[in-house]
Structure 1
Amino acid sequence: MIKSSVSNCPVPTEQQPLNEYEELKTSWLFRDCALNWREHIKKMLWIWSLSWVLAGPVAAASFPPHKHLAQFILCGALGASIGVILLLVRLYLGWYYVSDRLTSPTVFYEESGWYDGQTWIKPEEVLNRDRLIATYEIKPILRRLQLTFASLAGMFVAGSIVWHLL
């Protein structure tokens, strides 16, 4: 964990926004968001493929593949996308939370429990450092996740059009 450059910071180490960012950045679930586009797409396709394990049998029960192949594929693809959407929501909310804590001029923290919360006003140097990290490290990740959401929405629209044409 990185310690704050301000020695009089009353915020517990694990609740300091910079340390929350470092922890999130190294977490197995969240670290893949910082990969290049190709790796990011591969990970999303991998999750989507694994989701087919659940979505495939449900789609086959509704639309037997030997009778309604196109409907089976579209229904299965939609069902498998739910796993990707849930993952994307979790990733987005985690990164957004840390970004919000970094860009905020104050830090709410708990000293020993939920009943004794305090607020610390960041010194200017800490606020500037945190905002730089949020701008140059986290904002691109949030944009990538937003574009992934938009791509999924576009695929849903395309799938709906194809469904209505069948």
Structure 2
Amino acid sequence: MSPCPVPTEQQPLNEYEALRDSWFYRWPSLDWWTYGQRLGWVAGVGALVAVPVAAASFEPHSQPLKFTLVAGAGVGVLPGLFLLQLYLGWRYVRHRLASQVIVYEESGWYDGQTWEKPPTVLLQEQLVSVYQVEPLLRRLRRTLAGLGLMYVAVGLLGWLCL
């Protein structure tokens, strides 16, 4: 069997380990409390922008409902972007782990090289994909769904009350 021609940093298992060990991409693997705290801090930073914009748009004392709805919607933007980045990064790695054929570059230019994984490597990487990466993606999907429901609720409340 020939050795893997894929450069070390482009091998799916190494890409997985790099994401798993990175400060940002390991957020979904943290316990729920810490994960929520990190997203809360991101929402807090979003609030630093969203609340003044909402206050400039709608006077909080005379239009409290409009102010609250716009501020709430604005606060969710930054966490949504963070969650989307996390989801896309982990989904990319899951795809690379589960694929039988890997596309890689030998040089700085896209040269379209491919490598077919041997059955043992494919099985090992598929197991990592199913048991390590998929639970993280599930958590991210649930969090994104919760954020989406918040936007639906804000939209419905705004539509019904305004």
- TM class by shorter chain equals over 0.9
Which amino acid in the other structure matches residue 48 of structure 1? A
Q: Measured at CA, do residues 18 and 7 of structure 1 come closer, stay the same or move farther in structure 2, by a change above 3 Å?
A: farther
1:32 — aligned with what?
A: 27
**Identity of aligned pairs, percent?**
48
RMSD: 1.4
Deviation at 1:41, TM superposition (A): 1.9
Residue from 65, 75, 83 that aligns with 1:80: 75
Matches within 5 A, 1:1-166: 8-163=3-158, 164-166=160-162
Deviation digits for residues 111-141 of structure 1, max 9, x if unmatched?
A: 1122423101101111011001010111011
1:70 corresponds to which letter in structure 2?
L
Structure 1 gap ranges (5+): 1-5
Provide the C-alpha distance between the structure 2 equivalents of 1:7 and 1:34, rounded to a whole number of angstroms: 35
Q: Secondary structure at the match of 2:76?
A: helix
- Output the TM-score relative to the length of structure 2: 0.93
> Aligned pairs, how many?
161
Deviations 1:66-118 (A, max 9, x none): 21122212111101111011111111100000000000001111111224231
Q: State the shift of 1:161 in Å.
A: 2.7
TM-score scaled by length of structure 1: 0.91
User: Which residue in the other structure is 1:3 paired with?
Assistant: none
**Secondary structure in structure 1 of the residue aligned to 2:113:** strand
